[in-house]
Amino acid sequence: LMHLTRKLIEIRSMLLSIDQSDALKLPSIVVIGSQSSGKSSVLEAIVGHEFLPKGNNMVTRRPIELTLIHTPGIAEEYGEFPALGLGKITDFSNIQKTLTDLNLAVPASEAVSNDPIDLRIYSPRVPDLTLIDLPGYIQISSMDQPETLKEKIAGLCERYIREPNIVLAVCAADVDLANSPALRASRKVDPLGLRTIGVITKMDLVPPEAGAEILRGNRYPLHLGYVGVVCKPPGKKPRNESTALVIRQAEAEFFGSHREQFGSKSNVMTGTDTLRRRLMEVLESSMASSLHGITNAVQLELEEAQYQFKVQYNDRRITAESYVAETMDALKARFREFTGQFRKAHIRAKLKAMLDEKVLNVLEQLYWSDKRTPELSAIAADPKVKPESIEPYWRYKLEAASSLLTKSGVGRDATLLVADGLRALIDSIAAGEPFTYHPRAAERLIQFSHMLLRDRIGITADQVENCIKPYKYEVEVEPREWELGRTQAMELFENEMQMCEEKLKEIKKRVGGSRRLTGLMTYVKGVEEKESEKRRKRLSGVEEEGEVQDLNGDDYRYPPGQVLDARHAILCSDRLSILKLRLAALKSKRCKSGPESDVFCPEIFLNAIADKLAYTSSMFISIELLDHFFYQFPREIDSRLLYDLDRREIIEFARENPAVRRHLDLQERKDKLEEVMKQLNSLATLRPDVQPTPRRS
């Protein structure tokens, strides 16, 4: 017989973890009573330990789901809070402290919370019982217990004393039952008193005859009857192991000394032991009669869960672990797919484009802005001029240009360019699905990959710089390289010219046609010439009286925006004419003739150097940065994202993804319902008389 309650208590906890709705609830005993009615003392007498929070202030702010598990043969009694993972607590004063902390953690503004505390106690001395301790009813409103709190507590109690629960109404013998809030509340939900047990505490405080009269229950009849107890703690004496014993002895003494009123012939129930037995009987029979209904309800829920699982997921099972592993694999695959963008040829092309920019800058700085550059074209056109006989000016210029290019920090710039590309790639992966659901993992992914890169950048930049060092002193260009450089230089020039032409067109459109632009340009040029004339004179000290006015932008006849446009147009057209001139040179016989013409055709020479720099840099960046990163990255994913997670974090991670969370929830619900159903069916073998015969649909 014991087995049935025990099993059903287990099933009840499982059901509670599936669903908090009333449909799937097995009965429990709910303890209600007004403050100071002796509610805590009764519960502690049943458990045989002092473990409930004490204090002047109301300390029970959350319901306590107390599950007692009769465990014969264990060395030490202990309690457990399954939700907290604190393990076995053998010191009951620690349980008391934990309960106090949990209660006090409810913010004062809320005062009471609906969220129950799950406490289990394992002992050879407790019966199999589930009891729910609720905040005590408040009788007197005072300043710190306002009316709304009273209502809140009443609301909470009402939810718990609904069917199928059994109500344990605790009343003090020295208070008129008519005033007992516990009985009043129970009568509201159980008017016939079919599932209410009365407990009359403090029997020692009223004359035995009056006490016995209360227990007979003639005034407020209860089907399950009243039990009288005395749970008076023994004065201020420090409590210890034997306290429970002392209390029980005192109780036995009290009832024993009034045999006439409370003896076996009196037909009233007294004593904590009687109360326990009564509670066990009542709970067992109540559970047994709930069995049929609950089996039906579970069957229905299970069928629904199975159906949904089939329809939504085609019975596909997942685990948090498998989701995490798949996510990491997908991440690695995604990354591998992208690494195609980082093959040597790609890198080389990217670096070459960067170096082309540098070449153009060098050319602009040293040749295009030099008024003598047109001379160079003229000299080159003269077949009589040999490279050895050219003015040293042009030789120095070429050397300066080549060293400007090779010493422009190619190592660092090239490395950063590639590293930035990798960083952008990782960032875009981290910003996409499924990492949108896993912001912390995304953050970590970004962090460690940036760190990996940071660690390599310095080394790689130095290595590249080291390997291009020879080019800083001497560059030898083969005829094949020369020809390639020439084609590339022409392309570069054509692009540049196209850009200038487009810019001019744009300006023309903005200022209103080519005639207007020509007018504007002529005007601006004129003013500028005058200005520079002035400056020259001022510098040479030839100042003309009365003409010391300053010709600033404000003095133009045109709006400043148009003046600016004209200036840009002048720059563009100057740039265009020099580019045209040089493009012609690149196409000339001289430039075609080969590397010995380098001094006449600096563009080709610089291009050939840029090509060599790009080639060398890409090679070393591949070895020092990319190979390293590609090797390390998947391993870091494993060690920093995957293996770093413990079981709880893995579940947390998987549940961050709403689709996965729904899948796991339904799967778990189905599994639990299946387990409960199995347990319910197995009860049939324990108690053939309460055979669960679920309705099949």
State whether the Cα torsion 460-463-465-471 is positive or negative: negative
Helices (H) and strands (E) in the chain, counts: 23, 9
Nearer to ligand GDP, 36 or 266 (CB): 36
Sketch the per residue contact string, 185 through 204, with ligand GDP: x for CB under 6 A, - otherwise: ----------------xx-x
Q: Does 239 bind ligand GDP (CB under 6 A)?
A: no
Quick one: which of 4, 16, 38, 50 contacts ligand GDP (CB under 6 A)? 38
Q: Give buried/exposed letters for 509-522 (b at 16+ CB in 10 A, else e).
A: eebeeeeebeebbe
Residue 331 CB, nearest approach to ligand GDP (Å):
57
Residue 84 CB, nearest approach to ligand GDP (Å):
23
Nearer to ligand GDP, 27 or 211 (CB): 211
State whether the Cα torsion 43-48-51-57 is positive or negative: positive
Residue 277 CB, nearest approach to ligand GDP (Å):
19
Please identify which residue in the block is written with the tokens 């301790």: 133
Quick one: which of 5, 28, 37, 123 contacts ligand GDP (CB under 6 A)? 37
Sketch the per residue contact string, 108 through 147, with ligand GDP: x for CB under 6 A, - otherwise: ----------------------------x-----------
Cβ distance 298 to 671 under 8 Å? Answer: no
Could you give the C-alpha distances from 194 to 213, 219, 270, in angstroms and in order?
Answer: 20, 16, 20
Q: Does 5 bind ligand GDP (CB under 6 A)?
A: no
Q: Does 350 bind ligand GDP (CB under 6 A)?
A: no
Q: How many residues does the structure list for the chain?
A: 697
Quick one: which of 216, 232, 277, 655 contacts ligand GDP (CB under 6 A)? 232
- Only one of the segments 34-42, 344-352, 464-472, 505-513 lies at the binding site for ligand GDP (rule: CB under 6 A); that segment is 34-42
Cβ distance 208 to 255 under 8 Å? Answer: no
Q: Which of 202, 183, 201 is nearest to 193 (CA)?
A: 183
Quick one: which of 127, 233, 374, 421 contacts ligand GDP (CB under 6 A)? 233
Quick one: which of 7, 12, 39, 61 contacts ligand GDP (CB under 6 A)? 39
DSSP string, 597-626: GTTT-HHHHHHHHHHHHHHHHHHHHIIIII
- Only one of the segments 30-38, 499-507, 581-589, 618-626 lies at the binding site for ligand GDP (rule: CB under 6 A); that segment is 30-38
Residue 185 CB, nearest approach to ligand GDP (Å):
14
Q: Which of 87, 162, 161, 167 is nearest to 120 (CA)?
A: 87
Report which secondary-structure segment, H or E, holds 673. Answer: helix 658-686
Q: Name every residue whose Cβ is closer than 8 Å to that of residue 220 and which is 6 or more positions away in sequence.
A: 177, 183, 187, 193, 198
Q: Does 35 bind ligand GDP (CB under 6 A)?
A: yes
Chain residues 44-73 in contact with ligand GDP, contact rule CB under 6 A: none
Chain residues 204-223 in contact with ligand GDP, contact rule CB under 6 A: 204-205
Quick one: which of 8, 28, 30, 33 contacts ligand GDP (CB under 6 A)? 33
Q: Does 96 bind ligand GDP (CB under 6 A)?
A: no
- Only one of the segments 67-75, 229-237, 476-484, 582-590 lies at the binding site for ligand GDP (rule: CB under 6 A); that segment is 229-237
Residue 129 CB, nearest approach to ligand GDP (Å):
18
Quick one: which of 41, 98, 165, 272 contacts ligand GDP (CB under 6 A)? 41
Report which secondary-structure segment, H or E, holds 467. Answer: helix 439-467
Quick one: 385 exposed, middle or buried, by C-beta within 10 A (0-12, 13-18, 19+)? middle
Question: CA 448 from chain center: how many Å?
Answer: 17
Q: Does 258 bind ligand GDP (CB under 6 A)?
A: no
CA separation for the pair 594, 486 (Å, rounded) = 9
Nearer to ligand GDP, 214 or 302 (CB): 214
Residue 254 CB, nearest approach to ligand GDP (Å):
9
DSSP string, 54-91: --SS----S-EEEEEEE-TT-SS-EEE-TTTT---B--
The type of residue at 512 is G
3-state secondary structure of 329: helix
Residue 246 CB, nearest approach to ligand GDP (Å):
13
Nearer to ligand GDP, 41 or 67 (CB): 41
Nearer to ligand GDP, 232 or 346 (CB): 232
CA separation for the pair 344, 615 (Å, rounded) = 9
Write the DSSP symbol of residue 268: -
Binding-residue total with ligand GDP (CB under 6 A): 17
Cβ distance 388 to 643 under 8 Å? Answer: no
Quick one: which of 28, 40, 295, 299 contacts ligand GDP (CB under 6 A)? 40
Residue nearest to ligand GDP (CB): 40
Residues near ligand GDP (CB under 6 A) are 33, 35-41, 136, 201-202, 204-205, 230-233
